[in-house]
Structure 1
Amino acid sequence: MKVELFIPCFIDQLYPDTAFSTIKLLEKAGCEIIYNPAQTCCGQPAFNAGFWDDAKAVGNKFLNDFTDQHFIVSPSASCTGMVKNYYNDLFTNTALHNKCRSIQNHIHELSDFLINVMQHDYFGAELEGKAVYHDSCAALCECKIKEEPRKLLEKVHGLELLELPDSSTCCGFGGTFAVKFEAISTAMAQQKIDQALALEADYIISTDASCLLHLQGYIDKNNLPLKTVHLADVLAGGWGNV
């Protein structure tokens, strides 16, 4: 199966290894990767800040950088959710209306694609330790993803997956929310991390690098014995021993 790969700007600039892990997983699942190096951003930062004209310009480029001939897969529930849901506000009844709807039907977050399209849940990954999974707001509310990442993590050798008491509660990032309401944002991160520490977890895993960046910032500032890891990087780890 041919799939088009969408690497969000956030991952491209800050977590490129996660992009390569995504390629590794898709190829092991039997996919042929199509990557358009002209791709940039989905327009979410401008959209969330209220600059809809700018978001529409970026979204217009996105719709032209991808086709509706293949599945489009991304290691970000947040950016996938932007395209699937909020492009309606930008492109309904425009010249790109039909292509937008088609692309919305073709785009998938990585875990959703692996479980529900490829029906592939085992990669031979290994990670020793205890981990909690953080449900990002975008994954739950915009992509309707909950069980898919857990099914994948349950098959990771050496990993004990624990459940946070409030796994669906926001981590406090929320894009510009973390800047405008720093105290509230920090308190929300602290609550999430305190719960993970209470379970003696070694890792916090999620589908969204933005959440992990926020949580890791709090962890590093306070020198806590915890590490954040993207789902793709967990699933792509330890194959040499299989």
Structure 2
Amino acid sequence: MKQSLLQQAEVFQDPITLFVPCLVDQFFPEVAISTLKILKFLGYNVIYPSKQTCCGQPAFNAGYREEASKLAQHFLTTFKDAGIIVCPSGSCVGMVRYHYQTLTLPEKYQKIHQALKENIFEFSEFLFQQRVSAAITGSFPYTVNYHHSCHSLRELGLKEEPLSILRNLHDINLIEIPQAQEECCGFGGTFSVSFPALATAMVYQKVRALADTNADFVVANDVSCLMHLEGALHRLQKKIVPLHLATLLTRAMHLD
């Protein structure tokens, strides 16, 4: 079964290029390692361009478009020869795929972007489109609530992709309650910095909805959301553990 699934994945050029966002690199490196482990388990040859840096999203969100443009040009230069790019962050994929075209980029970078934007995928999106998610099996005997980050859900249109992967795991109790799953956690990049009181009210509402599900873990595909939720969970003394999907999978599959 695993071999036939992987054979179907050969429609994509090998190797896979891994893009690791800033927050993952600086605060959650285990997420990048878990992503790499899962891709290698599935048989992919993964490369990591050492010159990669920020995609420019923080500068873009803060209104520093010139600085964001410079970072976008560096990103495009670094990844221009990549076949397929996989990233464990929906917000960063959304930045590259949709928002680079709103920046003032020299024509040569616009051309690179036109080709590249079709080949960058969020982690669960890639697994789902490759039809290899069924090859990911394991046991995770806990109650889990999945949090749809705004960029993944509303910008990339990803909803079933991560849920279908979680449903493959044995013994998992996946709670699917729209209020606990789909409401914004309040992070929103610079939103939580510019409007801290509103962001705090939003995350507290989110955490209380999660607590009502009696979940052991809240899982997401954006570490920015997980970081924001973790702070609120700690302050409200809730025992729910935030976890990235890739990290959960490595634990369930005993790849950690």
Corresponding residue for 1:191?
205
Structure 1 or 2: more strand by fraction? 1
Distance 1:110 1:240, change over 3 A: closer
Corresponding residue for 1:131?
144
What is the CA–CA distance in structure 1 between the aligned matches of 2:232 and 2:82, rounded to whole Å? 42
Q: Structure 2: which amino acid aligns with 1:73? A: V
Distance 1:92 1:119, change over 3 A: farther
SS at match of 2:225: helix
- Note the 1:1-242 alignment, pairs <5 A: 1-90=14-103, 94-166=107-179, 167-240=181-254
Q: Aligned-pair distance for 1:187?
A: 1.2
SS at match of 1:126: coil
Q: Contact between 2:143 and 2:215, CA under 8 Å: does it hold in 1?
A: yes
What is the CA–CA distance in structure 1 between the aligned matches of 2:134 and 2:157, rounded to whole Å? 18
Count of residues paired in the alignment: 241
What percentage of residue pairs aligned between the two structures are identical? 38
Q: Structure 1: which amino acid aligns with 2:66? A: D
Q: Structure 2: which amino acid aligns with 1:86? A: H
What is the CA–CA distance in structure 2 between the aligned matches of 1:10 and 1:240, rounded to whole Å? 25
Q: Aligned-pair distance for 1:195?
A: 1.1
Q: Contact between 1:23 and 1:33, CA under 8 Å: does it hold in 2?
A: yes
SS at match of 1:237: helix
RMSD of aligned C-alpha atoms?
Answer: 1.5
What is the CA–CA distance in structure 2 between the aligned matches of 1:97 and 1:58, rounded to whole Å? 14
Q: Structure 2: which amino acid aligns with 1:82? A: M
Q: Aligned-pair distance for 1:132?
A: 0.7
Give CA-to-partner distance per residue, 1:130-154, whole Å, 9 cap, x none: 0111111100122111100000000
Q: TM-score, normalised by structure 1?
A: 0.95
Distance 1:11 1:69, change over 3 A: closer
SS at match of 1:63: helix
Structure 1 or 2: more helix by fraction? 2
Give CA-to-partner distance per residue, 1:151-197, whole Å, 9 cap, x none: 00001222110012322221100111112211111111111111111
Q: Structure 1: which amino acid aligns with 2:120? A: I
Question: After alignment, is 104-113 or 64-73 more displaced?
Answer: 64-73
Q: TM-score, normalised by structure 2?
A: 0.90
Runs (4 or more) in structure 1 with deviation over 3 Å come to: none
